[in-house]
Amino acid sequence: MATTAMSHKHAVPLILVVDDEPGMLRYLRTMLEAERYQVETARCAQEALERLQRAPLPHLVLMDVVMPDMGGLQALEQAREMHPTLKVVMLSCLNDTRKAAQAVRLGALDYVTKPFEDKELETAIRRCLSPTPIFHPVDAAPQIVELNEHVSFVCSCPAMQRLHSQAAQIAKFDMPVLMLGESGTGKEVVSLLIHQLSPRAKFPFLKINCAAVPADLLESELFGFEAGAFTGATKSKPGKFEMCDKGTILLDEIGEMPAALQAKLLQVLQDQTFSRLGSRTTVKVDVRILAATNINVQEAIAAKTLREDLFYRLSGFTMRIPPLRERKQEIPFLMKHFMNRMADSYARPPLPFGPRLLQACLQYSWPGNLRQLENFVKRYLVLADEALAIAELQPEQTAGSAEAEHSDGSGLKSLARSVKKEAEAEAIAHTLDQTHWHRGKAAARLKISYKALLYKIRQYDLHPPEE
């Protein structure tokens, strides 16, 4: 094995090439040295792992997938355990989406199929060695990926940066992806990110919520129908799969799809063919299927509400989107992002977030995740009342656990909050009556902003006497 002493302080990157074919080692060494890289080689996985125990650590490892004794994926896993920040690109003569997905899960930054064009490998190497790579390390600065006019992928924590890296890699491989996560965590945004980074980006991206469409209409929505297929079907209509040909379709809340329809979807996943309702003709499409759900998959399989064979077909690659409470360090950045975007859309200056408001937001658990946080920021922008915004987060913060409430005497804290709300509603209603429902005067007497008063009127469903 050739060795080149080098420190990471030097400008010329060091690349370790691992391959059991001497011809491939010679070819890659010649190509890389022509590009002014320093190169070391290893003829097997074990030799590479021994090399990684010595300094200096290579800036990048190019590793073959298929090697005798120990395969490249096993070596990748061990190398990443030794050096979690190690950058690795896998090389393979097999265009195997399962191995590519496994490589991404194990931390590979790219997966290049042999035979490859020199330019393809050079691009992958430059991308991985770039000071601002597409695949951001865990200590990277916050980033915003604009997906369209209204949707952005925002990440400023290690978990979301890893998700972005995985999405960028798996997007290249035409395989189903299953996204798991609570409602509001951003599964649709991750789906759109995968689509935008894929070769299908110029073609349609469609989403259908399987829980929002009645079960008896879902099949016709997905697969279309012919004239006369059912009462009211006066003319033929294509379904979402035909409309999304060559593009990407997101099946949201896949766990809510009726069992009979799951069998038809399984056929589409197997051979990309189906029939419209009322038709004997087979339609063939080229669609990438992404799926998302917030259910417990194993419980759904056990209860037979989700077919096990469909689950395994959909989960060619599985991504778990963490809830907001598990990435609270992102909250200040997300709030600023939402504020700037909504301030632009409402044509008004963005509001600052004071220390007390930020602290309240960081202590809150956000059961509705990103969707709840975005709506919270919108209300704050509209009402411009920081005290009211903080108060909105107080019930959960002060409620404590169920045991604590019961120990205070049959939910005393809950009762106190209820009495407080009733007293507040009564005080507001009394002031409004005294001012003959002149909202400006009432707000002044109550010493709250006009917008805060309007919010309270809606909250307590108050109406003037004549209404």
Reported residue count of the chain is 467
User: Tokens for 96?
Assistant: 């195997």
Which phi and psi (to 5°) does residue 433 adopt?
-65, -40
Question: Domain check: are 49 and 108 in the same one?
Answer: yes
The verdict on residue 406 lying in a domain is no
Question: Domain check: are 260 and 271 in the same one?
Answer: yes
Write the burial class of residue 178 (CB in 10 Å: 0-12 exposed, 13-18 middle, 19+ buried).
buried
Query: Which of 99-103, 141-145, 229-233 is the least confident region?
Result: 141-145
* Closest to 160 (Cα-Cα) out of 177, 129, 138: 138
DSSP 324: G
% of residues, the chain, pLDDT over 90:
41
% of residues, the chain, pLDDT over 70:
89
The verdict on residue 138 lying in a domain is no
Q: Which helix (H) or strand (E) holds 281?
A: none
The verdict on residue 139 lying in a domain is no
Question: Domain check: are 81 and 167 in the same one?
Answer: no
In this model, does residue 91 exceed pLDDT 60?
yes
In this model, does residue 154 exceed pLDDT 50?
yes
**Per-residue model confidence (pLDDT) at position 140:** 44
- Write the pLDDT tens digit of every residue in 340-391: 888 888 888 899 998 899 999 999 999 999 999 999 999 999 988 999 999 9
The verdict on residue 118 lying in a domain is yes
* Closest to 195 (Cα-Cα) out of 269, 248, 252, 254: 248
Question: Domain check: are 381 and 253 in the same one?
Answer: no
Read off the pTM. Answer: 0.65
**Per-residue model confidence (pLDDT) at position 259:** 84
In this model, does residue 203 exceed pLDDT 90?
yes
- Write the pLDDT tens digit of every residue in 297-327: 998 899 888 999 999 999 888 999 999 999 9
Question: Domain check: are 307 and 351 in the same one?
Answer: no
The verdict on residue 257 lying in a domain is yes
Distance CA 289, CA 413 (A): 48
Mean pLDDT of the chain: 84
Q: How many domains does the chain have?
A: 4
- Residue, of 113 and 43, whose pLDDT is higher: 43
Residue type, 233: A
Domain end position, chosen among 99, 129, 159: 129
Positive or negative, the CA dihedral 183, 184, 190, 193 is positive
Token look-up 């490998």 returns 121
Peptide bond into 115 cis (omega under 30): yes
The verdict on residue 379 lying in a domain is yes
Query: Which of 10-19, 67-76, 199-208 is the least confident region?
Result: 10-19
Distances (CA, A) of 351 to 154, 155, 337, 381, 382: 20, 22, 12, 6, 10
Question: Domain check: are 104 and 156 in the same one?
Answer: no
Token look-up 């040295």 returns 33
Question: Domain check: are 184 and 300 in the same one?
Answer: yes
Query: Which of 168-177, 181-190, 206-215, 416-425 is the least confident region?
Result: 416-425
Question: Domain check: are 185 and 279 in the same one?
Answer: yes
Distance CA 166, CA 134 (A): 11
The domain spanning residue 148 has which CATH number?
Answer: 3.40.50.300
Peptide bond into 322 cis (omega under 30): no
- Write the pLDDT tens digit of every residue in 218-265: 999 999 998 888 888 888 899 999 999 999 999 999 988 988 899 999
145 backbone φψ class: left, alpha, beta (φ>0; ψ -120 to 50)? beta
Question: Domain check: are 214 and 88 in the same one?
Answer: no
Question: Domain check: are 304 and 167 in the same one?
Answer: yes
* Closest to 449 (Cα-Cα) out of 439, 462, 463, 460: 439
Question: Domain check: are 154 and 291 in the same one?
Answer: yes
The domain spanning residue 341 has which CATH number?
Answer: 1.10.8.60
- Write the pLDDT tens digit of every residue in 10-47: 468 999 999 999 999 999 999 999 888 999 999 999 99
Contact (CB, 8 A) for 285 and 331: no
**Per-residue model confidence (pLDDT) at position 421:** 74
The verdict on residue 40 lying in a domain is yes
User: For residue 344, what are the domain limits?
Assistant: 323-399
In this model, does residue 411 exceed pLDDT 60?
no
Distance CA 91, CA 15 (A): 14
Question: Domain check: are 315 and 331 in the same one?
Answer: no
pLDDT band at 420 (very low <50, low <70, confident <90, very high): low
* Closest to 121 (Cα-Cα) out of 216, 37, 227, 232: 37
Token look-up 């005497």 returns 409
The domain spanning residue 460 has which CATH number?
Answer: 1.10.10
The domain spanning residue 102 has which CATH number?
Answer: 3.40.50.2300
